[in-house]
Amino acid sequence: MIARSRQVALALTVVLAAGAACQARNHQPSAPGRPAPSAPGTGGFTLVAAGDVLPHASVVDRALFDGGGVAHDFRPMLSGVRSVVSAADLALCHTGTVYGENGDHTDHPVLTSPPEIAPALAETGYDSCATASEHTLDDGADGIHRTLDALDRAGVRHAGSARTEQEARTATILHAGPAEVAHLSYTHAPDGFPLPPGRPWAVGLIDEAAILADARAARRAGADVVVVSVHWGTEWQDAPDDRQLALAARLTAARTGGRPDIDLILGTHAHVPQAYEKVNGTWVVYGMGNQAAGVTENHQGVQDPRGNQSTLGRFTFAPPARPGGRWEVTRAEFVPQWFDVDAGRVVNLNQALAQGADLHAVRDRVRDVVLSRGAGKDGLVMGQ
């Protein structure tokens, strides 16, 4: 990797290194987050993260119905998790598609979605959205522009794709209680689409050296906590694959001055919930699943209900015991979710069960997968 410079701008904007050998990384300038209470009595903060928002045609049709047939309204669809998301100091989402021209949407194999998703994410309480996915290049550079423009208008920060080279080199720094949190985002190679000519930085691609260089640059520039969103893994596989396990082990092992370079890894892409695991002292969510998606079929062409199961991760961070130390996760939780394709609603499964819904089998399956690599012994619990 070519040695790269950094720059600290106003509002805690961080300019990350970029080298010719490293693929694109998008990091947005900092903006004040919405007010939210810090973790009580600790001087820390809570962070909530969700999986893929993947609006298939049926999801888009439902949003049009909810908008009275004249506009797409995705707010009711996400309202079932608003209480959990909006209560956090910092909430991170993942957008699995780009927004279409003139508000149009298309389904597989090229995915585009209506831009009304962006204000719905904002109203639900999300502060920043990872935009690096296998579908980031489905509508070329124009799709990236439309998506980031819409998120900007809605007040949702973003990381993972970029409109300009300068934007690609600028880290998203977010306020979370008393802490400054860097949000970085990367994906495996986009689905069959080349990078736009002259724009090798358009989407952040998974490259271990680049991820660590960006994390270290963000840390040097003042980030207390570094969170990495990674679009990775094997679709429809409950267990993390060997590449996920290997990359997670190497990223969490990396340290500078005895302090880990990365504080949390959030995985998307597999379409099904995957395990949480504490690796080298750092929490890794291998896959959160689809927060919102239509009826899904697996690689065998069979309708697979797992594609509508997911989790919200919730992590409580406490400040270091000594200056220069690590912000520690003092409580790790997962909240099981289900997307009701008939109603077109994201459902908090524990809340639904408390109200008498017969969803125990779905909730228990999600729980078993999440705990399948022994995270319970490291303190992971199921939250409400």
Distance CA 365, CA 220 (A): 41
Distance CA 165, CA 82 (A): 34
Distance CA 64, CA 72 (A): 4
Please give the C-alpha separations between residue 200 and each of 20, 89, 95, 96, 146, in angstroms, as whole numbers. Answer: 9, 34, 21, 20, 18
Distance CA 86, CA 384 (A): 14
Residue 374 tokens read as 């022994």
HEC string of 283-344 equals EEECCCEEEEECCCECCCCCECHHHHEEEEEEEEEECCCCCCCCCEEEEEEEEEEEEECCCC
Q: Closest Cα to residue 288, out of 73, 113, 74, 54?
A: 54
The pTM (predicted TM-score) of the whole model is 0.90
Q: Closest Cα to residue 124, out of 292, 272, 266?
A: 292
Q: Three-class SS of residue 32?
A: coil
Q: Tell me the residue type at 217.
A: A
Q: Closest Cα to residue 26, out of 176, 208, 210?
A: 210
pLDDT digits (tens), the chain, 384 positions = 222 222 223 233 334 443 333 333 333 333 333 334 445 456 899 999 999 999 989 999 999 999 999 999 999 999 999 999 999 999 999 998 999 887 677 666 678 899 999 999 999 999 999 999 999 999 999 999 999 999 999 999 999 999 999 999 999 999 999 999 999 999 998 877 889 999 999 999 999 999 999 999 999 889 999 999 999 999 999 999 999 999 999 999 999 999 999 999 999 999 999 999 999 999 999 999 999 999 888 888 888 999 999 999 999 999 998 888 999 999 999 999 999 999 999 999 999 999 999 999 999 999 999 999 999 999 999 999
Q: Considering all CA atoms of the chain, what is the largest pairwise distance in Å, rounded to the nearest integer?
A: 58
Question: What is the fold, at CATH topology level, of the domain defined by 7-382?
Answer: Purple Acid Phosphatase; chain A, domain 2 (3.60.21)
Distance CA 28, CA 221 (A): 14
Distance CA 167, CA 201 (A): 9
Pairing of strands 282-285, 276-279: antiparallel
Measure CA 146 to chain center.
19
